[in-house]
Structure 1
Amino acid sequence: MSAIDYEIEDRTQATERHAAEPVRPSDVEGLRPLPRISIHAFCISERVQRVMEQCAHDRRMNRVSLRITHGNIAAAANMFSSTPTPNLIILETDAQPSAVLEELSPLAEVCDPSSRVIVIGRHNDIALYRELMRNGISEYIVSPFSMADMMSAISAIFVDPEAEPLGKTIAFIGAKGGVGSSTLAHNCAFGISTLFTTETVLADLDLPFGTANIDFDQDPATGIAEAVFSPERLDEVFLDRLLTSCSEHLSLLAAPSLLDRGYDYDRAAFQPILELLQRTAPVTVLDLPHAWCEWTRTVLSEADEIVITCAPDLANLRNAKNMIDALRKLRPNDKQPHLVLNQVGMLKRPEISPQDFFEPLELEPVAIIPFDAVLFGTAANSGRMIAELDAKSPTAEIMSQLAHLVTGRATLKKPKKSGLGSLLGMLRKK
């Protein structure tokens, strides 16, 4: 998370008194992650300061070093007279349009030529805007403004608009081991690649016990371990050598599934390979193990979409609740994770009913998948996907709907009365 240095006494209490306005996920959904830059914001009003605090806690700012200071342009000039200026300085002013350039003059004398500047003012004055642009200011924003406005302005300065768009990252994780999260991830990746003819990479992040190679009947000699433990070798050529083709549009970054070493990682161990995948693949599906540590938190905090798979028992309910609460704090400006209830209706197993399961979570399920030992067992043992075995089954339809949902595509057709449609209908009626 971004480093924030508050230079105000009792900052925690002030933030609680002036809660930030909620951010709509749709406003920031299209924004790209920012590169590793340093930003120093000087704020004179609580409103602007709250917006900058929202920016600081957004996942797209994870690589940014952001410092927020309560002070005006004169305070910035005084500070930077003895310290280097950052990549971007954000300044708030309440001066009249005719006095803004004069207020900026002392800062211009100490500011590094490579530093960019955004000015926040109170007056919607086109003449002032043009004058600031002529004098090297990167952007002028009129207050009040939203977090999305500020993020868009920063992105316009530091993110190349001509660059290829970043690929979408979809992370799957189970609320408990053995709930079928990996099976859903593999079938969803297969569905995305076949339904939309989109180049898709499935990355198995469970290095010691991953099953993606088994589920796709593959035995690759290389995979994700080489990328994680040799980040200095990573480039597009090396990535191509590590990928295994599973179908025309689906590639696999397989786990070694060997216990010949310990698999201990630091929090950023997977970031180099995931950043490379974002630049090279339109869609990346991440199959995460059931674990909660620094590296899984980091991966989840930066994913575009998250799918949590649960089974209908008490341990899953508790874990799902804890995970959802934690993710809301990690990703305050993003959409909620998608919740899937799997293995429903297992013979002779006491279960929590769907309505009782989802009520305390305060989150509607996106899919409820009936337990089908024959279908899932046959698929796993034959190295094939559900859609390959029985494309017309209710479960295959659910997988298709899930693929549409996580990629943000419109549903091609309504679900059948069985499976997803009927189960969700029953849930809503109750």
Structure 2
Amino acid sequence: MTQHAYGSSRSDPLDPLAPLEDTSDASTAALSDRARPLPRISIQAFCETPALAEVLQDASEDRRLSKTHLTIQMGGAAAAVAHYQESPTPNLIILESQRSHAALIAELDELAQSCDPGTKVVIVGQTNDVMLYRDLIRRGVSEYLVMPITPFELMECLSGLYNNPATDPVGQVFAFMGAKGGVGSSTICHNVAWTLSEILETDIVIGDMDLAFGTAGLDFNQDPVQGIGDALQNPDRLDEVLLDRLLTTCSKHLSIFAAPVVLDRDYDLTPDDCQTVVDVVRQNVPFVAVDLPHIWTPWTRQLLLQADEIVITAVPDLANLRNAKNIIDHMKQARKNDAAPRLVLNMANMQKRPEITVKEFESALGIETLAVIDFDCENFGQAANNGQMVEEYSAKAKAVQSFRDIAMTLAHRKEIKAEKKSPLAPLLEKLKLMR
């Protein structure tokens, strides 16, 4: 059999075609998690229908493909053959074909003459044909997709080609930001991260990006010498060994990347530097909570856009409503294939303070509130002064359950609650047996 230049990612070339998964609301979150970010690769697509071109355009605007360079052309396999007779092939070719089985195989054989070794090829067709699929895989085609497909399904396919399924998945990033300064976004971030580490017993890192005034060290009663400022000065040097030295351990599963909190040093942060640091951390732990200051810069916008989940904390007043709407609308537009940002209303139901109702907030923003945390100066204030989380200080505090709900929602998990048994349960069981 002739050896072609296409690079195949299939370990078993005889796997039958499976129907594409639906992307209902119940499965969208799981499908989104499986579509991991792609590395810096060049992708060229040759379409025959506007439908696929539109899917590719939508996918190209997604955060998971932000590092790739994607070009879209019309003309299908014939255009690809003509193009690569004079041009080098990219890392990945996406080819749409409505031709018959024999005609498509002939075009691929011709294309193979111009393909560089290592180039991956994904074919998009109209026929759910097992025999065609097997012939394509034998010729080194990496994947065969059947129209119609969604941007999610396309991104999952491409992610599978460049991410080793045998390795641990890339950690999820949760970005926390306040709609206004002083609304308690950092407190929400720290308590949710601590709660997640305690419930799931899994590692999580808090990255304190408020370099001048960050409170992660204070909230966890730590005074680290090194932290995230050192990593941001030389992001290219950050690796697993250096990361371990710069992190401060707060509990068995929680570490903080503390801010330097000094005013005699300037940090000229760039989006790429910040993203590099976050990417290194997420390669080493399952969850990363990024605590963003209430400023709007290219790097804060980039970290929001690249996060798996966004949590906006607001106080129920007019300024918070306006700012939250601006941020959420912007994120919805820029992150079309992701869930909308989550909204947490903090310090609600304060006595004698006029407030905008939860219903009015939700109506104006077009999203449901993830949690409403009542004003509780005693528990929150004493916990902060002690360098503790709210649940550590008072497990009966009303906000504890809200933090648990937020944590489980972000992690796409359900908390398994122990069933409370009556003190009389043993006696009642004995009475049942005696009947």
Q: State the TM-score, normalizing by the size of structure 1.
A: 0.88
Shift of 1:120: 1.4
Alignment of structure 1 residues 159-308 onto 2, 5 Å? 159-308=163-312
Cα deviation, 1:172-205, whole Å, max 9, x if unaligned, reads 1100000000000011111111122111111101
Superposed, 1:28-427 pairs within 5 Å as: 28-413=32-417
Deviates more, 1:145-154 or 1:322-331: 145-154
Distance 1:69 1:296 in 2: 34
Q: Deviations over 1:64-98 (max 9, x none)?
A: 11111122212112222222211000111111111
Which segment drifts farther, 404-413 or 387-396? 404-413
User: What are the Cα deviations for residues 295-316 of structure 1, in whole angstroms up to 9, with x where unaligned?
Assistant: 1111111111111100011110
Q: What are structure 1's unaligned runs of at least 5 residues?
A: 1-20, 415-430
CA distance in 1, matches of 2:244, 2:113: 49
Read off the aligned partner of 1:271 and give its amino acid letter: Q
Q: Is the 8 A contact 1:89 1:115 kept in 2?
A: yes
Alignment partners' CA distance in 2, 1:273 and 1:80: 37
Structure 1 residue aligned with 2:6: none
> 2:214 aligns to what SS in structure 1?
coil
Verify the 8 A CA contact 1:244 1:253 in the aligned structure 2: yes
Task: Give, in whole Å, the separation in 2 of the partners of 1:205 and 1:234.
Answer: 16
- Give the 3 Å change call, closer, same or farther, for CA 352–288 of structure 1 in structure 2: same
- Name the SS of the counterpart of 1:322 in structure 2: helix
- Once the two structures are TM-superposed, the CA of residue 124 in structure 1 deviates from its matched residue by 2.2
**TM-score of the superposed pair, with normalisation by structure 2:** 0.87
Larger radius of gyration: 2
Change (3 A) 1:175 1:385: same
Which ranges of structure 2 fall in alignment gaps of 5 or more residues?
1-21, 419-435
Change in Cα spacing, 1:325 to 1:23, as seen in structure 2 (3 Å) is farther
Q: Distance in 1 between matches of 2:105 and 2:211?
A: 57
Partner residue of 1:427? none
Local SS of the residue matching 1:284: strand
CA distances 1:202-225 after superposition (whole Å, capped 9, x unpaired): 110111111111111111000001
Q: Is the 8 A contact 2:358 2:369 kept in 1?
A: no
Q: CA deviation at 1:251?
A: 0.6
> For residues 147 and 357 of structure 1, what CA distance do their matches in structure 2 show?
31
8 A contact 2:173–2:290 mirrored in 1: yes
2:430 equivalent in structure 1: none
Q: Which amino acid aligns with 1:104?
A: L
CA contact (8 A) 1:43 1:91 kept: yes
Letter in 1 for 2:120: R
Could you list the per-position Cα deviations for residues 345-375 of structure 1 after superposition, in whole angstroms to 9, with x for gaps in the alignment? Answer: 2233322222222211111111111111122
Question: In the TM superposition, what is the alpha-carbon distance from 1:22 to its structure 2 partner?
Answer: 9.0
C-alpha distance in 1 between matches for 2:148 and 2:377: 57
CA distance in 2: counterparts of 1:232 and 1:132, whole angstroms: 40
Greater displacement, 285-294 / 176-185: 285-294
CA distance in 2, matches of 1:232, 1:62: 19
Report if aligned partners of 2:220, 2:250 keep a CA contact under 8 Å in 1: yes
User: In structure 2, how many angstroms separate the alpha carbons of the residues matched to 1:141 and 1:399?
Assistant: 41
1:413: how far off? 4.4
What's the secondary structure of 1:29's corresponding residue?
A: helix
C-alpha contact (below 8 Å) 1:37/1:63 kept by paired residues: yes
RMSD: 1.7
Question: CA shift at 1:23, angstroms?
Answer: 8.2
| 3-state SS of 2:347 partner | strand
The 1-side partners of 2:49 and 2:176 are apart by 41
**Which letter does structure 2 place at the counterpart of 1:270?**
C
Distance change (3 Å), C-alpha of 1:408 and 1:23? closer
Q: Is the 8 A contact 2:34 2:156 kept in 1?
A: no
The alpha-carbon distance between structure 1 residues 23 and 329, as it changes in their structure 2 partners (threshold 3 A), is: farther
CA contact (8 A) 1:208 1:263 kept: no
SS of residue matched to 1:359? helix
How much does 1:341 deviate?
0.5
Find the aligned partners of 1:201 and 1:256 in 2 and give their Cα distance.
16
Q: Which moved more, 1:303-312 or 1:258-267?
A: 258-267
Specify the code of the residue in structure 2 equivalent to 1:348.
K
